[in-house]
Amino acid sequence: MRAISPITPPAGKRPLRCRIFDPFRETPLLAWLFGAGLAVLLEHLLGESFAALVGLAKVPVLFGLMIILSKPLLFPGALLYVAVIYLLPLVTVALLLARPANTAAAALLRLGPAVSVLFHLALFYAVLHFWAEISGYREMTVKFTLIAVLLTLSLNLINGYMGEFSCSHPGFMALGAYGASIFSLSLFVNDPLFGKALLPAFLGPWLFPLGLVGGGLLAALGALLIAIPSFKTRGDYLAIISLAFLFIVKSLLENLPFVGGPRGMGSQPDYASLPVVFAWTAMGVWIMNNYVRSTLGRSLNAIRDDEAAAEAMSVNTRHTKMTAFMFAAFWAGVAGGLFAHMMRFINPATFGVQRLAEMLAMVYFGGLNSVYGSIVGAVSLNLLGEVLRPLELFKWIFIPLLLILVMIFRPTGLLAFRDFDAVRLVQPRSRDRQGGAP
């Protein structure tokens, strides 16, 4: 167990950042979640009337930023709303409930780390769910963001952990999207492309995971096809081969009439609800996080740093690379399946070079070789894309500019080289840890 320095020097001489964050050093995640829960509850109860009071027409959808950018005069109202509805309860609970929350967190941890982590996850989902429930637009943004997290993390496995530059990810996503769509359109829906439904519609949501996994496996198969010829090459050559794969998938889909050709496929059943997307994303992040912390993941890093040395240290490089590639493609396929059932329309043009650029931006913005970074990159670029809508054309100047700045000042991304230790995240933070973590 690591000791946390017990003495804090007198306030006043220390930088502002420390003075702001010091009081929260003993606040465990549990208390933050309770605070967020209270904030969301408050928004449900008082949000609308308080928004009217401070002169806003509606509850600010994404922390008031959109309002500030479109109508700068309303900024005091939006700021006040965020301060009173979000910040105030969050800070109050984080300070007041720190002690009891620490005791609770310790008790939870004694029941077993898995129980504690699942409890935190459930609490987090509850907060997210009630936050998203306020507006359909919020819910849609959350769903797109969660899917982007899955995609970014899976691409980070190859581009970050393995250190190769792969361009075929939209192709994998397309395979997953088409695979899952064919599954649900042919089985549960009367569709002009596939004829009458083969199974009763009520089974659909229950068998949907099978479709997703099927789509993921299809993508993994695609990854195997490209891995066999291309892993004799490295660097630029792999990038070019994987780019070629992306084009092959795209023009294949364009020329196959039974999946709609260039017109694409539409009216997939609406299976990708928020709980479904969240469950898959949480599972994907958990599994991929475990993967990179396992021996396989560590050997992936060894290969990235020096392939010959890794080989000499008994790493089976070919096997490791192949597994990682297929594993990443699987999750990209799952994300594609979720995407297809959320959009309820896919066409080959969706999975082109532009999508690749978006995915790469999220990976490199958030941070290479990093689970945290992938989450941060996907969330921040997705939210920025929505929040900056009022800037119209300047949005496409601002976001790339931000990327350039990140590349200059943090060449590996915002939060590079960080994995996730779920148990450390949920453990109590008190100095006098009577309960104590294991």
Partner 1 sequence: MRKIPYLLLAALVAGMICSPLAWSKGKSIKIGINAPITGDNPKVGEGTKFAAEMWLADVTAAGGIEVGGSRYPVQLVIEDNEYKPESAVKATTKMIIEDEILVMVGPQASSQAVPAGGVADSYATPMISPWSTNPNTTKDRPYVFRGCFLDPFQGPVVANFIKGEFGAVKAAVLYDVAADYSKGLAEEFKKAWEGINGPGSVAAFESFTTKDTDFSSQLTKIKNSGAEVIFTPQYYSEVALIVPQARELGWDKPIVGSDSWGSADLIKLCGPACFGLYFSTHYAAAGAAGPTREFIDRYQAKYGYVPDDVAALTWDSLRIVQAAIEQTGKLSGKIENDRAAVRDAMAKIREFEGITGKMTFTEEGDPSKCAVIVRITDQGEFAFHKSVCP
Asked if residue 383 binds partner 1 (CB under 8 A), the reply is no
Q: Minimum CB separation from partner 1 for residue 165, in Å?
A: 24
Asked if residue 380 binds partner 1 (CB under 8 A), the reply is no
SS3 (DSSP) at 265: strand
Give 195's strand partners: 191
CB closer to partner 1 out of 266 and 435:
266
Q: Minimum CB separation from partner 1 for residue 137, in Å?
A: 4
Asked if residue 48 binds partner 1 (CB under 8 A), the reply is no
Among 261, 290, 307, 435, binds partner 1 (CB under 8 A): 261
Among 112, 136, 195, 436, binds partner 1 (CB under 8 A): 136
Q: Minimum CB separation from partner 1 for residue 136, in Å?
A: 5
321-354 residues labelled b (16+ CB within 10 A) or e (exposed): bbbbbbbbbbbbbbbbbbbbbbbeebbbebbeee
CB closer to partner 1 out of 136 and 229:
136
Q: Minimum CB separation from partner 1 for residue 346, in Å?
A: 8
Q: Mention every residue, 6+ apart, whose C-beta is less than 8 A from residue 84.
A: 50
CB closer to partner 1 out of 248 and 296:
248
Asked if residue 152 binds partner 1 (CB under 8 A), the reply is no
Asked if residue 349 binds partner 1 (CB under 8 A), the reply is yes
CB closer to partner 1 out of 88 and 121:
88
Alpha-carbon span 73 to 51, nearest angstrom: 15
Asked if residue 54 binds partner 1 (CB under 8 A), the reply is yes
Burial class from Cβ neighbours inside 10 Å (0-12, 13-18, 19+) for residue 166 reads: buried
Chain-centroid distance, C-alpha 187:
30
DSSP code of residue 434: S
Q: Which amino acid is at 279?
A: A
Alpha-carbon span 201 to 186, nearest angstrom: 11
Part in contact with partner 1 (CB under 8 A); list of ranges 51-59, 112-120, 163-171, 413-421: 51-59
Q: In the chain, what are the helix, strand and coil shares in percent, each to the nearest 5?
A: 75, 0, 25
**Residues of span 7-36 touching partner 1 by CB under 8 A:** none
Asked if residue 71 binds partner 1 (CB under 8 A), the reply is yes
CB closer to partner 1 out of 195 and 262:
262
Structural contact between residues 222 and 325, judged by C-beta atoms closer than 8 angstroms: no
Among 153, 330, 386, 426, binds partner 1 (CB under 8 A): 386
For residues 309 to 348, the per-residue mask of contacts with partner 1, x marking binding by CB under 8 A and - elsewhere, is ------------------------------x---xxxxx-
Asked if residue 243 binds partner 1 (CB under 8 A), the reply is no
Q: Mention every residue, 6+ apart, whose C-beta is less than 8 A from residue 422.
A: 113, 117, 286, 289
Q: Would you state the torsion angle of the CA atoms of residues 107, 108, 111, 113, taken in this order, to the nearest 10 degrees?
A: -130
Asked if residue 269 binds partner 1 (CB under 8 A), the reply is no
Among 309, 354, 400, 424, binds partner 1 (CB under 8 A): 354
Among 41, 110, 113, 135, binds partner 1 (CB under 8 A): 135
Alpha-carbon span 155 to 360, nearest angstrom: 8
Q: What is the DSSP string of 348-373?
A: GGGGSHHHHHHHHHHHHHH-TT-HHH
Asked if residue 66 binds partner 1 (CB under 8 A), the reply is yes
Asked if residue 195 binds partner 1 (CB under 8 A), the reply is no
Cα dihedral across residues 42, 44, 45, 51: positive or negative = positive
For residues 74 to 103, the per-residue mask of contacts with partner 1, x marking binding by CB under 8 A and - elsewhere, is xxxx-xx-----------------------
Alpha-carbon span 260 to 253, nearest angstrom: 8
Structural contact between residues 173 and 335, judged by C-beta atoms closer than 8 angstroms: yes
Among 27, 116, 141, 156, binds partner 1 (CB under 8 A): 141
> In which residue are the tokens 């010091």 written?
22
DSSP code of residue 2: -
Among 11, 23, 45, 58, binds partner 1 (CB under 8 A): 58
CB closer to partner 1 out of 77 and 337:
77
Joined together, the tokens standing for residue 354 give 């532009």
Among 84, 133, 205, 267, binds partner 1 (CB under 8 A): 267
Structural contact between residues 295 and 288, judged by C-beta atoms closer than 8 angstroms: no
Among 73, 308, 312, 408, binds partner 1 (CB under 8 A): 73
DSSP code of residue 257: G
Q: Minimum CB separation from partner 1 for residue 33, in Å?
A: 27
Binding-site ranges for partner 1 (CB under 8 A): 54-55, 57-58, 61, 66, 71, 73-77, 79-80, 135-137, 140-141, 144, 251, 254-255, 261-264, 266-267, 339, 343-347, 349-350, 354, 386, 389, 392-393, 396
